[in-house]
């Protein structure tokens, strides 16, 4: 939970919703062939689309690496 709290602080600093970071991080990992976020209705599908489209600055991913919240060699979205 402490790690999540630190990630949430960095998300707030960079104005990145945590779910957007999660949804965008996973496809950047080469060993992950695909992922399907769960959707129960149209509103949730639209929310997922918005989160996947949310702009995330490179500085966000850099800070996560610097704070050792993700591995330094972890692939991140470009």
Count CB atoms within 10 A of the CB of residue 77: 14
Contact 10, 63 (CB under 8 A): yes
The domains of the chain are located at 2-66
With tokens 């704070």, the residue in question is 67
Q: Which of 32, 23, 22, 29 is nearest to 64 (CA)?
A: 22
pLDDT of 33 above 90: no
* Confidence bin at 52 (pLDDT 50/70/90): very high
What confidence tens digit (pLDDT) does each residue in 55-72 have?
A: 999 999 999 999 999 999
3-state secondary structure of 66: helix
Contact 31, 62 (CB under 8 A): no
Q: Which H helix or E strand runs over 51?
A: helix 42-53
């Amino acid at each position: 939970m402490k790690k999540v709290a630190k990630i949430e602080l960095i998300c707030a600093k960079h104005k990145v919703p945590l779910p957007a970071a999660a949804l965008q991080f996973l496809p950047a990992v080469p060993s992950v062939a695909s992922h399907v976020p769960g959707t129960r209705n149209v509103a949730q599908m639209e929310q997922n689309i918005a989160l996947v489209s949310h702009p995330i600055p490179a500085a966000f991913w850099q800070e996560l690496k610097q704070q050792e919240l993700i591995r330094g060699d972890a692939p991140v979205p470009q």
